[in-house]
């Protein structure tokens, strides 16, 4: 968490009052919530009435996907199709799959290219053919694994030709990229506090005025009757403070972190020349392998570097790096105790065997050049050891 957010949260935790109560303490708490709503909305180009506070990004995604689907189906029972990309976060994919299993929904996958970017021509053709049945389009603003940034305004324009609402999971984007809800054209936008320096217990769904959403939680009727539940006043205050800070510092901080990211990529390539950088290639970077066309400054998250290491298992690399004090992620889902290759990489056309050797390195506001140097020192020996272990395992099996 950002220090300013921690201070705001601790200060508010010393106060009492339910923001739905009418007594003095309740009215004071309500003022805190509404000030947070105004500040949060202003930072992201939304009016206060468009801000629905939630417990985090997963709830915001579920509310958008299920709420839009149910509302649109109620208006027209033929609208049972959801258009999504195969590289969405599971906070979107799982609600979609639940709707398919339990609510009779159908799913159409918008195609993505080798960098994880939505094929706009393919999406346009899909909507042309099926728009009468489509209830919503959901496309994440920036991918959590490979960092690819999507052209949300163009996607919204395509969908709006047929009056189809668009939801975007912007959890990875806010605070790291320029995000303006009104300018994006999206009808719903999900945000999570912990991805921008706020608490893990706070999130929000931005929903344009007049948009019909069926609530997923029922109770006290808080948040315009769309999201019932007692509001976590300290967390929401900290959430707003973190959002303001992250948005205000984003241009300079994104430049600083992107420079660190580029140094990290170069260090990995120097130590492991056959490592493959997945997703868009940042400006100014050229790998030791086949030439890759550089992308623009906002085509990839500034703090994301995602590699596959041939001949390695991602889990082995993760544990070996962790032992050296470097924490990273495989970017894979683990279901029923069985590691699975990343659905994102598979959708991008990466072979399953290659996808199993994936690692994601993430940089944030606490990251420094010393962190990059520590990885640069560790990655070569770690990859050599992981490859040696894999070779030994293969020989023993043979």
Give the residue numbers marked as catalytic: 334
Q: Which among 116, 181, 166, 176 has a CA at the least distance from the CA of 136? A: 166
How far, in Å, CA of 259 to CA of 88, rounded?
27
> Whole-angstrom Cα distance, residue 329 to residue 336?
18
CB within 8 Å of 235: residues ≥ 6 apart: 9, 193, 198, 199, 201, 202
| Distance separating alpha carbons of residues 190 and 106, to the nearest angstrom | 22
Two structure tokens written together for 59: 């709830």
What Rg do the C-alpha atoms of the chain give, in angstroms?
Answer: 22
| 293-312 core/surface letters (b: 16 or more CB in 10 A; e: else) | eebeeebbbbbbbbbbbeeb
């Amino acid at each position: 968490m950002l220090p300013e957010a921690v201070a705001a949260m601790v200060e508010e935790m010393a106060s009492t009052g339910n923001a739905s109560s009418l007594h003095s303490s309740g009215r004071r708490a309500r003022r805190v919530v509404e000030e947070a709503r105004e500040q949060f909305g202003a930072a992201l180009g939304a009016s206060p009435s468009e801000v629905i506070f939630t417990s985090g990004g997963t709830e915001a995604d579920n509310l958008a996907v299920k709420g839009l689907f149910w509302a649109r189906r109620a208006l027209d029972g033929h609208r049972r199709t959801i258009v999504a990309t195969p590289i969405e976060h599971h906070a979107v994919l799982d609600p979609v799959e639940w709707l398919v299993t339990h609510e009779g929904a159908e799913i159409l996958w918008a195609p993505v290219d080798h960098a994880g970017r939505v094929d706009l021509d393919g999406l346009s053709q899909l909507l042309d053919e099926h728009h009468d049945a489509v209830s919503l389009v959901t496309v994440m603003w920036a991918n959590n694994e490979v960092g690819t940034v999507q052209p949300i305004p163009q996607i919204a324009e395509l969908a709006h030709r047929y009056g189809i609402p668009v939801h975007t999971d912007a959890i990875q984007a806010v605070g790291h990229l320029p995000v303006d809800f009104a300018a994006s054209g999206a009808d719903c936008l999900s945000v999570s506090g912990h991805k921008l320096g706020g608490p893990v217990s706070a999130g929000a769904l931005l929903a344009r005025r007049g948009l019909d959403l069926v609530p997923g939680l029922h109770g006290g009727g808080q948040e315009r009757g769309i999201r019932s539940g007692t509001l976590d006043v300290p967390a929401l205050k900290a959430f707003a403070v973190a959002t303001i800070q992250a948005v205000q510092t984003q241009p300079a901080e994104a430049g600083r972190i992107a420079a660190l990211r580029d140094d990290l990529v170069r260090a990995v390539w120097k130590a492991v020349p056959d490592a493959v950088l997945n997703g868009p290639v940042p400006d100014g970077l050229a790998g030791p392998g086949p030439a890759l066309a550089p992308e623009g400054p906002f085509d990839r998250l500034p703090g994301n570097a995602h590699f596959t290491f041939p001949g390695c298992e991602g889990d082995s690399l993760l544990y070996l790096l962790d032992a050296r004090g470097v924490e990273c992620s495989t970017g894979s889902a683990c279901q029923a105790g069985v590691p699975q290759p990343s659905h994102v990489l598979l959708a991008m056309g990466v072979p399953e065997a290659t996808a199993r050797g994936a690692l994601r390195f993430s940089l944030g506001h606490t990251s420094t050049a010393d962190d990059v140097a520590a990885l640069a020192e560790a990655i070569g020996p770690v990859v050599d050891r992981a490859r040696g272990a894999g070779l030994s395992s293969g020989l023993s099996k043979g």
